[in-house]
Amino acid sequence: MTQPFPFAAIVGQDEMKTALVLTAIDPKIGGVLVFGDRGTGKSTAVRALAALLPQIDVVEGCPCNSADLRDCPDWTGITKGKMVKRPTPVVDLPLGATEDRVTGALDIERALTKGEKAFEAGLLARANRGYLYIDEANLLEDHIVDLLLDVAQSGENLVEREGLSIRHPARFVLVGSGNPEEGELRPQLLDRFGLSVEVTSPNDIDQRVEVVRRRDAYETQTAPFLKKWRAADTRLRNKILSARDALPGLTTPDETLRDCAALCIELGADGLRGELTLLKAARAHAAFAGQDRVTRDNLRAVAPSALRHRLRRDPLDEAGSTARVAKVVSDVLA
């Protein structure tokens, strides 16, 4: 399909939309995990967001979307080239993808026909400066998970295989989705996602009807539908862009830092990543709202998504993480 569904036209699912917008404002937040039922518009939202973002400048022909000629890795052989505009990449990582396809591998075609040792870039290269989307992330093979953990951490993909020794930048926002009924996610991978949200099919009939109605309009009267939502999408884009600009100048009061720490300690969230993510997400949230300083309201808004997947699992606890986070947030930020 050429034109993705407009982001602004997605009904409900506010937590998911907010989380995605926050990562668009500050990619360093580090990815979103969306857990929930089938057919709740997870992949629609990711694609829609990427289409909403402004195009990025890339060196023409560079497999890893370099922003500058100097950033092009040597192995690409690109020494001169003009800059072109490309949409923000959204790369699908299919479940059964081989390591070769993910990291890149020896270019068999050139090796066989020309006898050249060349590198064929993989999905990680293509996702650089964009989004890497894994549907059913919880079913991903372990060795691919290991590989992703490594790259998501370092922002660089290292390939050492078949006589190749290649490195290239791979900074992307990792978006994973899945259904927890079908399997758990490894804690280490869970931790790499900055934010996690839970989506459910709306229970409200009106909302469901609206979803079906808009989808139907999108499929059957595409052009008028897109036109109708263009203005709303543009407004959102401008808001994201001005939030990006405002982010460095935002004041973060000391008490916010203390609040972050207090929340994490109270919840027993492991490591400092929780605090950092919480802070970044709160700052992005404040910038998006047009504030000039971070407040407790921002923390309250982002704490569930930033922390719920970092809690120590208590298998005998029935209430679930969301309830625990909500309780601690209301206690600490009272």
Partner 1 sequence: MTHPVWEDAVLALRLLRLDPVGLGGIWLRAAVGPPHDRFIRAVGPAVRLTCHMTDEALLGGLDIPSTLANGRPSYAQGLLAKPGCLMLSCAERASRHLAAVLARTLDRCAGHSLIALDEGIDDEAPPAALTDRLAFHLVLDGLSAADCVQSAEDMPESGPTRLAGLQDEALRALTAVSVKLGVTSLRAPMFAARTARAHAALHGRPMAEDQDLETAVRLVLVPRATMVPQEDPAESPPPDDPPPPSDADTRVDKPAEDQLLEAALANLPPDILSRLCSQQRLQRAAGTSAQGALMKGSARGRPLPSRPGRLDGRSRIDLIATLRAAAPWQPLRRGTLPGGPLKLRSSDLHVRRNQSRSDRLLIFAVDASGSAAFNRLAEAKGAVELLLAEAYASRDHVALIAYNKESAELLLPPTRSLVRTKRHLAQLPGGGATPLAAGLKEALHLAATGRRKGFQPALILIADGRANIDLLGQANRANALSDALTTARGNRMLNIPAVVIDMSKRPEAQLSEVAQALDARYAPMPFADAKKLSGVVNAQLT
Catalytic residues: 273
Determine which residue in the list 60, 68, 184, 245 makes contact with partner 1, applying CB under 8 A. Answer: 184
**CA pair distance 41, 50, nearest whole angstrom:** 15
The secondary structure of 215-256 as a DSSP string is HHHHHHSHHHHHHHHHHHHHHHHHHHHHHHHHGGG-B--HHH
Closest contact distance (angstroms) between CB of 12 and partner 1 is 11
Any contact of residue 213 with partner 1 (CB under 8 A)?
yes
Q: Which is nearer to partner 1, 160 or 162 (CB)?
A: 162
**CA pair distance 62, 60, nearest whole angstrom:** 6
Determine which residue in the list 28, 86, 208, 228 makes contact with partner 1, applying CB under 8 A. Answer: 208
| Cα angle 294, 240, 249; round to 5 | 40
Q: Which is nearer to partner 1, 111 or 333 (CB)?
A: 111
Provide the 3-class DSSP secondary structure of residue 259: helix
Any contact of residue 197 with partner 1 (CB under 8 A)?
no
Any contact of residue 223 with partner 1 (CB under 8 A)?
no
Looking at residues 262 to 281 of the shown chain, list those that interact with partner 1 (rule: CB under 8 A).
none
* Matching residue, tokens 């997870």: 42
**CA pair distance 20, 256, nearest whole angstrom:** 23
Residue type, 104: G
**Both structure tokens of 276:** 């950092």
**Both structure tokens of 6:** 């407009």
Contact 126/65 with Cβ under 8 angstroms? yes
Q: What are phi and psi of 158, to 5 degrees?
A: -110, 125
Return the range that interacts with partner 1 (CB under 8 A); candidates 15-23, 38-46, 65-73, 255-263: 38-46
Q: Which is nearer to partner 1, 134 or 246 (CB)?
A: 134
Determine which residue in the list 14, 37, 160, 270 makes contact with partner 1, applying CB under 8 A. Answer: 37
Closest contact distance (angstroms) between CB of 276 and partner 1 is 25
Any contact of residue 315 with partner 1 (CB under 8 A)?
yes
Residue type, 266: E
Looking at residues 97 to 156 of the shown chain, list those that interact with partner 1 (rule: CB under 8 A).
98-101, 105-106, 108-109, 112-115, 135-136, 139, 141-143
**CA pair distance 305, 15, nearest whole angstrom:** 8
Q: Which is nearer to partner 1, 222 or 252 (CB)?
A: 222
Any contact of residue 205 with partner 1 (CB under 8 A)?
yes
Closest contact distance (angstroms) between CB of 98 and partner 1 is 5
Any contact of residue 322 with partner 1 (CB under 8 A)?
no
Helix (H) and strand (E) counts for the chain? 13, 11
Residues that bind partner 1 (CB under 8 A): 1, 37-41, 43, 92, 94-96, 98-101, 105-106, 108-109, 112-115, 135-136, 139, 141-143, 162-163, 180-184, 186-187, 200-201, 203, 205-206, 208-209, 211-213, 215-216, 219-220, 313, 315-316, 318
